[in-house]
Structure formats: C-alpha cells, structure tokens
Chain A
Amino acid sequence: MSTVRISDDAVARACGADKVVAAFDKLGWTVERVSSWGMHWLEPLVEVNGVGWGPVTVDRVAEIAEGGADDLCIGPVAAHPFIASQQRLTFARAGRTRPLSLDDYVATGGWAGLDRARAIGSEQVLAEMVQSGLRGRGGAGFPAGIKWQTVARAEGARKYVVCNADEGDSGTFADRMVMEGDPFALIEGMAICAYAVGSGQGYVYLRSEYPDAIGKLNAAIDLAAPRIAPFRIEVRVGAGAYVCGEETSLLNSLEGKRGEVRAKPPLPALQGLFGCPTVVNNVLTLAAVPHILTEGGAVRYENLGMGRSKGTMPIQIAGNVLHGGLYETAFGVTLRELVYDIGGGTASGRPVKAVQVGGPLGAYIHPDQFDIAFDYETYTAADALIGHGGIVVFDDTADMASLARFAMKFCAAESCGKCTPCRIGSVRGMEIIERILAGGRQADAVEKLPQMHNVRASQRSFEEQVALLEDLCETMKFGSLCALGGFTPYPVLSALRHWPEDFGLAKQAVPA
C-alpha cells in the first residue's frame, strides 16, 4: 500500500474529493490532504508518487490503485504544461504541501523571510519592499512599500495590520487558495509587515462565503502563534457585503459599524482602524512578502514583469473555460495566451465572445483587444482594469445587454448607500438599459397631462436613451466616493461600445 495525495481545497471538495478520499481509505491507502495545484478542471486530482490522475470519481479509484485508468492519467503533475509554464512565487507551495503542517512549511523555506526580516531590521525591510516594486494586488496597484513606510513613520501608540480577505469579485479565488492551501505564508507576510511598521495586532477580514478558509486560517493562526509572537492575528468574518472589500468600509465593519465607505483623507495608513495608523493589504500582497524578504528576493522580484508592474500575478482563469484554475506568471502575458493557449478556449466549445477581467467592476474585453499585455498601465490605457487578476470567459451565447444590466443590478444590491450616483444611479441604470432593450420609451400617463409642459419630450428615442445611459455612467464615474459606483460604468460602457448589436443598435452607432 502506498500514499496518495488529494487536495482538501474547497474546489476539490466541491467536486467530490472527500468521497474519493473515503474510497482510498477503504482500500487501506494512506491519504495525505494537500493544497490544490490549481488545475481545477482536473479536480479531484489524485497524485501517487508524483503522477496524477484527474478528474477522479469514486468508481475509478480501484483502477487507479492498481496503476490503471490511463485515460485519466496526466503523467507527472509538476511537469504538466499548465504548471511547468508558470512562474510560481506566491503559489510555490501549491499542491506540494499539507496546508496545516508546520513541518512541510519549514521544509519548503517557510519562516525564512520572517527570520531574515528580524535580522536585518525594520528600515531595511521597508527599503527592500520599496525596491521589489510590489504593488497592491487587491486591484488599485498602490506600491506596498510606500504604504508600509507611511504607517511606520506615522505617530501612534498602537498600529494595526489588516489583511483584506473579502475577495468578493466573481472570477477570483487566489486569496481563497492562499488561505486554504498555504495559510502560514499569509501569516508570515503579516508578521513581517507588523515587524516593519511596529504593530502588535493584526486582523484578517474574511468573507462569510468562504467557510473552508475561515476554518483553515483559524487553525493555522493557533499553530503559528508562538512563531509570530508578540504579534497576534485574529480572523474576523464578514457578513455578506461586497462593499466591505473597500478598505475604509472594511475598517468600519471591523469596528462593528455599517460597512459604509469613509471619506479620504484621512488615509487609513495614518488614521485607520480605531483611528490608529493601519496597513490594509490584500491577501496576495501579504502572501508575496515572505519570498520577497528572502535573501535576494527583492531583486529577483524587481526583475520580473514589465514597466512599472513588477513581479508575478496569480491570474485566475474562470467562467466558461476549458482549463480553468490558477496561473501565476510575470506581468506582460497577453489575454490571448491566457484564454486560448492556457485556458484552452471555452468549456462549451463555442467561440469566445467576451472576457471580463478584474471582477464585476472590470471592463468586458472584446476578442479584437486580446493582444494587450497584462500590465496595470496598459489596461488602464485601454479603459480596463486588472483588478485582482480574475478573468471570466464568456462564449457567444452571452447576452452583453443583460450582463450590462446585471452590473447595474449588482451595484444597486451592494451599494453602501453613501453616494447618490451609486445608490440611485445604479437603479436608474437598470431601468434605462431595460428601456433601450424595449426600443425607447413612451411617455406615461402623467407626462401626457396638459399641465406637464416642461416634460422634455413626449417620446424618448432609442438614441436618447443610450445618451442618457452614457451620461449616467459619467456621473457615476466622477461622482462616486469609491470604486463600486465609480467602476460600475466600465462593464456597462464596454459592453455598449463593443457589442452594440446586443442592445439593438447598429454596429457604428456608438463611437468607441
């Protein structure tokens, strides 16, 4: 009898990994629950002596135990092109270690970054963070080292490190995979940050939709507590509000208030949690810290990527895609490579119609634009955003008008209510899109009354409705306090510009 490795990541479990484990148990095999390699179309992936089979169902277990099931066999897992072509820094341990084993963590270089940080002093840590060029992986792309320096130099008896694990974007799961697959890396990153800025208390704000991650991270924090002392970390569970991924509303939520966005300034770095200087970083940002702080790590990081986008980005390939999963690579890769070469096209086998990059607030990208490189500045120039690196693929059955309507609906459902363009504009946006689809709007009974002499037009045409939608989008873009209202126009306008025919418009009616 030998040992078989099967992931206990939520994706593997949702696809039936626990039943496969039970079947191997029954045969008397030793089962090791490891993190996921990130090849989700192959989950549950079964690994025996480095060779993988997937996706495995219970009725194939006996065959695999005897070395058969060649149709499911993918050969050596680490040599699979999907894995071998990546540059895995943050996800170096994915698939290779048991998430809650401190021994596995140490054996794969764990705590080296923290030990070195403590040896070289906080000033040097800050300097190396700035040098590495690491930018906030939560989407905004603010240089993490500069943020840390601001907190380190701020006056305050207490300082906090807050990890934003609210990962609310559809099409993203890298944060979840870190917390479930390599929780000690996140803890180490937070401990390094705490040491650099002089903080004694950290919080992880974790969304309630991730039950597995909550359990794993809590267990990992208990195990790692002596190693990171005197720094302490506590998990706080969110309560189903997407907007709490915005850093100031996250802080309000941590303080026990409604998750309403705060005005900035003051910056959270100066007056954050309970008015104290606070580092708020995304999971991926903090999980990238341990390897940056290893000997020569900052230089290695700086040399990867393109332009001002340094290092690697864990890209999450999702939606209607054949080979979905986690693909970490240096900045500069094109969407065409990601969707076709790596993702293998759509799962349905139909042509790709659109790809939404960066979550529900990201633009829909047309196949004609697929050659733009994955880089913060390039995307911004193309009126799109990288966000958290999630890409959601749609085939040609997608109705872009209904997706645009959904963007407005989502904004209405999740608005914190502080700004008018987001709270009310999103509802009006839904209505306007419905009217566009209905071919314009007839005046209602009240508008036809003789005393309503200042009504603009008794009947609004189709083009007027489109103009109204664009006007509303401009108002939302410039009149919203945070990105929920400010970026909702991206999916709406990109859908309108690239697929006007889905709205019932002629192709040339809307200038790009």
Chain B
Amino acid sequence: MDRIDQIVARHVDREGPLLPILHDVQAELGAIDTAAETRIAHLLNLTRAEVHGVVSFYHDFRAEQDLRPVVQVCRAEACQARGIEAMMPAVATAAGDRVRVETVYCLGLCSVGPNARIGDDLHARLNEAALTKLVEGA
C-alpha cells in the first residue's frame, strides 16, 4: 500500500485531487482494485462507496488488471464514414484473446481516419491490412 500512500501524498494538496490520484494509480498499478479504493478513501476522508462510484463511472479506470496489450480503435462517426465498421471482424480475428481491442470515441484525427491508438502512439489512414498488422504487432 506504500505506493498508494505516495501517490496520494503527491496530489493531496490540490483542489479536487481524486481524479489525478486515480489516474496515477491506474497508470502505475494497472488497476484500481478494492484494496486501493479503500486506502484512497481513508486517506482522503471519503467513503469507499464514493471512491468506487467515481472509479466505476469513468471508462478509463479498470477494477482488474489486464496485462494484455491494448489497441484503441475509433468507432465514432467520422471513422465510420471511412469504413471502420467493415474492418472490425478482421480486427477481432487478428486480436484473438491475446490483444485487448477497445472502442474509443474519437481521437481528434477525424479528417484522416480510420484511426487507432496504442499507448501514446496515434495511427491514421488505416485500412484493413494496416489495422490488422497494428493489432498483430501490438
């Protein structure tokens, strides 16, 4: 639990520190589990229900660690207009159980779609071959 104490100490003086803390816990520990929620709640003088409510509300936070590589594929309107939906079956096949394919709603690259994100790397102008290659190489 030391790491959570350190993370909370980093942010505790900020106004509304919960989201920055959760971001760091998610990034450093890969998930925000029950034990983490309990500790954060204790340190911030919140109830665990409040912390859990926040964790479960936001799509970015995960309750369980998932060590598989992640490929975020944009499936919002602009990428749909450029044919992302037709590529998804091939993406699912390429991913299998090894890669987690997540849906993201817009990466802000709407003029050069379809787009995907792996970590902080953005990829544009994808066709089915390029996208499945990204998933296979993830």
Which residues of A are at the interface with B, using a C-beta cutoff of 8 A?
Answer: 10-11, 13-15, 40-41, 43, 167-173, 176, 201, 208-213, 234, 236-242, 253-260, 274, 316-321, 324-325, 347, 356, 360, 390, 392-395, 397-398, 403, 406, 410, 413-414, 416
Contacts and interface: CB of A to CB of B under 8 A. Distances in A.
Contacts of A210: 107-108
B100 interface: no
B81 A255 contact: no
A13 B108 CA distance: 13
Interface centre among A10, A241, A254, A325 (most CB of B within 10 A): A10
Contacts of B74: 170
Contacts of A213: 108
A445 B79 CA distance: 40
A390 B110 contact: yes
**Top 6 closest pairs, chain A to chain B, by CB:** A324-B111, A256-B18, A170-B76, A318-B110, A239-B58, A240-B59
Q: Which bucket holds chain B's interface residue count?
A: 35 or more
Contacts, number: 155
Contacts of B53: 258
B81 A392 contact: yes
Contact of A10 (B19, B59, B76, B122): B122
Given A11-B124, A318-B111, A356 B16 contact: no
Interface in B1-53: 14-20, 22-23, 50, 53
A398 B81 contact: yes
A248 B78 CA distance: 27
B77 A392 contact: yes
Contacts of A170: 74, 76-79, 105-106, 110
Given A14-B124, A325-B111, A319 B60 contact: no
A20 B65 CA distance: 37
A397 B15 CA distance: 49
A212 B115 CA distance: 15
B81 A15 contact: no
Given A168-B106, A170-B77, A242-B105, A316 B111 contact: yes
A457 B111 CA distance: 47
**Main DSSP-derived SS at the B contact region:** loop
A209 B50 CA distance: 25
Contact of A316 (B15, B79, B110): B110
A274 B19 contact: no
Given A319-B110, A410-B105, 19 more contacts: A10-B107, A14-B124, A15-B125, A176-B108, A209-B104, A209-B106, A210-B108, A236-B20, A237-B19, A238-B60, A256-B54, A257-B54, A259-B58, A260-B57, A274-B16, A316-B110, A325-B111, A356-B77, A398-B81
Contacts of B120: 211-212
B109 interface: yes
B59 A169 contact: no
Interface in B96-129: 104-113, 115, 117, 120, 122-125
Contacts of A259: 57-58
B87 to A, nearest CB: 14
Interface in B47-100: 50, 53-54, 57-61, 74, 76-83
B92 to A, nearest CB: 18
B108 A167 contact: yes
Contact of B77 (A15, A317, A406): A406
A430 to B, nearest CB: 15
B80 A253 contact: no
A240 B76 contact: no
B60 A43 contact: no
Nearest to B111: A324
A172 B108 contact: yes
Nearest to B74: A170
Contacts of A173: 108-111
B105 A168 contact: yes
Contacts of B59: 239-241
Contact of A241 (B50, B58, B78): B58
30 contacts: A10-B108, A14-B115, A14-B123, A15-B124, A40-B111, A170-B78, A170-B105, A171-B78, A172-B106, A173-B108, A209-B106, A209-B117, A211-B122, A213-B108, A236-B20, A237-B20, A239-B23, A254-B19, A255-B16, A256-B17, A274-B16, A318-B110, A319-B78, A319-B81, A394-B81, A398-B81, A403-B77, A406-B77, A414-B105, A416-B57
Which of B15, B22, B74, B111 neighbours the largest number of chain A CB atoms within 10 Å of its CB? B111
Nearest to A324: B111
Report which residue of B83, B110, B117 has the largest number of chain A beta carbons within 10 angstroms of its beta carbon: B110
Given A237-B19, A256-B18, A41 B111 contact: yes
Contacts of B112: 11, 14-15, 40-41, 43, 324
Contact of A360 (B23, B76, B82): B76
Nearest to B86: A397
A28 B133 CA distance: 32
Contact of A236 (B19, B76, B115, B123): B19
B81 A237 contact: no
Contacts of A393: 81
